[in-house]
């Protein structure tokens, strides 16, 4: 076997690694552990199944995280898959609260590890192998207990949280039921149902495709708008601007803004928001406030250059609105506003 050093493979930077890994969509999990009265929880996406025989899964934990010591001592952990209405728990367990479970409904599982009420699913494990790599440890656990609620999971992608369309799926289920009741149509003669050219399943598939296309359309429109705004910033000399910067800037307070509040508003992880905010600090638009050790206590505020940037953004938005007005007539714009108002309240 040829050693990797001999192959002279290209070097991947930390920034390249972070950027590409953000593209890996994953469920959002809370890894829980307990040692007597001490209960810990940490937000993580680094969870993976290993084998079905024996049933096993692995987690990856930074050794600086307090959960590491508990799992290393007790050799037990649980993975709670968050449901799509539990994104607040992702930010909660990404913090360093002294008693993280004091206000979180839960019960103890078979292993004694906390199981979060309302989660989409959970597994409980006993550690059967540990591997240290860099600053992290891989814990491989044999699964000894499982549970599920069949709720829609919370997902993480590109530094943001995303929810599956649970209510849309429920609506389709109701529609499927109604279509099944009426698909035979009115009777033509005694006990002679009319022929139906399209079945309920076919119509349901069409509706699902249209719903997917609609979501894709809005997502593309959102990305296109951010890209257009970014281009206009660059034209005005703000060369360091990127589309993801707009997500953080548009959720800032007029005064100081805590990282935790930014993460909740932007529907992003604390780590993702902190990374973008630090980038905006580096190019001179934000000023860092708060402690260095606890990300939750961190806060940012605008610099003078940042205020100038926000004033510029108002002019840019007026220009883009004028561009849209030139492409759409007044009636089209009003219909679009009504549709968006109906969808997003």
Report the domain count for the chain: 2
Please report which helix (H) or strand (E) contains residue 330, including its range: helix 330-344
Which of 110, 137, 157 terminates a domain? The answer is 157
Between the alpha carbon of residue 195 and those of residues 175, 182, 191, 199, 204, the distances in Å are 20, 12, 13, 10, 18
- 118 and 232 housed in the same domain: no
- 133 and 231 housed in the same domain: no
pLDDT value, residue 298: 78
Query: Whole domain around residue 237: which residue ranges?
Result: 221-344
Query: At 298, which CATH number?
Result: 1.10.10.10
Domain-located, residue 187: no
The residues near 160 (Cβ < 8 Å, ≥ 6 apart) are 247, 266, 267, 268, 269, 272
- 231 and 112 housed in the same domain: no
Asked whether the beta carbons of 152 and 188 are under 8 A apart, the reply is no
What is d(CA 237, CA 244) in angstroms, rounded to the nearest whole number?
Answer: 18
Residue given tokens 């002294």 in the structure block: 98
List the strands of the sheet with 26-27, edge to edge: 26-27, 154-157, 160-163
Domain-located, residue 278: yes
pTM given for the model: 0.55
Residue given tokens 């968006």 in the structure block: 340
What is d(CA 48, CA 74) in angstroms, rounded to the nearest whole number?
Answer: 21
- 118 and 27 housed in the same domain: yes
Domain-located, residue 209: no
pLDDT value, residue 342: 63
Query: 204: which 2 tokens?
Result: 């349901």
- 144 and 227 housed in the same domain: no
Query: At 73, which CATH number?
Result: 2.30.110.10
pLDDT value, residue 104: 93
Which of 142, 157, 172 terminates a domain? The answer is 157
- Collapsing DSSP to helix, strand or coil, 17 comes out as helix
- 233 and 152 housed in the same domain: no
Asked whether the beta carbons of 294 and 288 are under 8 A apart, the reply is no
b/e burial code for range 278-292 (CB count within 10 A of at least 16 → b): ebbeebebbbeeeee
Print pLDDT tens along the chain (345 aa): 445 455 678 888 888 888 888 888 889 999 999 999 999 999 999 999 999 999 999 999 999 999 999 999 999 999 999 998 898 899 899 888 889 999 999 999 999 999 999 999 999 999 999 999 999 999 999 999 999 987 888 888 877 787 765 444 555 555 555 545 544 444 444 444 444 334 555 555 555 555 555 556 666 777 778 888 888 888 888 888 888 888 888 888 877 888 888 888 877 888 888 888 888 998 888 988 865 444 555 788 889 888 888 888 888 888 887 887 777 776 776 777 776 666 555
- 112 and 230 housed in the same domain: no
Asked whether the beta carbons of 30 and 88 are under 8 A apart, the reply is no
- 18 and 144 housed in the same domain: yes
pLDDT value, residue 142: 97
Which of 157, 179, 196 terminates a domain? The answer is 157
Domain-located, residue 75: yes
């Amino acid at each position: 076997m040829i050693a990797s050093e001999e192959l002279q493979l290209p070097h991947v930077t930390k920034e390249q690694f972070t950027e590409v890994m953000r593209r890996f969509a994953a469920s959002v999990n809370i890894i829980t552990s307990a040692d007597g009265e001490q209960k810990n929880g940490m937000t993580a996406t680094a969870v993976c199944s290993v084998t079905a025989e024996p049933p096993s899964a692995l987690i990856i934990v930074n050794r600086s995280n307090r959960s590491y010591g508990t799992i290393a001592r007790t050799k037990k952990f649980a993975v709670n898959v968050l449901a799509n209405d539990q994104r607040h728990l992702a930010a909660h367990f990404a913090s360093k609260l002294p008693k993280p479970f004091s206000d979180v409904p839960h019960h103890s599982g078979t292993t004694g590890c906390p199981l979060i009420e309302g989660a989409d699913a959970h597994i409980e494990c006993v550690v059967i192998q540990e591997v240290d790599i860099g600053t992290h440890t891989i814990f491989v656990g044999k699964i000894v207990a499982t549970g599920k609620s069949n709720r829609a999971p919370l997902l993480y992608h590109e530094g943001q949280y995303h929810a599956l369309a649970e209510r849309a799926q429920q609506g389709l289920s109701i529609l499927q039921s109604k279509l099944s009741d009426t698909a035979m149509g009115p009777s033509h003669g005694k006990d002679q149902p009319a022929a139906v050219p399209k079945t309920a399943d076919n119509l349901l598939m069409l509706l699902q495709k249209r719903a997917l296309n609609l979501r894709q359309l809005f997502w593309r429109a959102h990305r296109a708008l951010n890209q257009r705004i970014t281009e206009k910033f660059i034209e005005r000399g703000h060369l360091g601007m990127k589309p993801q910067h707009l997500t953080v800037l548009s959720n800032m307070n007029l005064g100081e803004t805590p990282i935790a509040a930014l993460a909740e508003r932007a529907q992003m992880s604390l780590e993702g928001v902190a990374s973008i905010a630090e980038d905006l600090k580096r190019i001179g638009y934000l000023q860092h406030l708060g402690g260095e050790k606890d990300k939750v206590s961190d806060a940012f505020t605008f610099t003078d250059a940042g205020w100038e940037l926000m004033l510029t953004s108002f002019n840019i938005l007026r220009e883009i609105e004028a561009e849209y007005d030139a492409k759409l007539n007044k009636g089209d714009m009003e219909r679009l506003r009504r549709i968006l108002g109906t969808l997003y309240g």
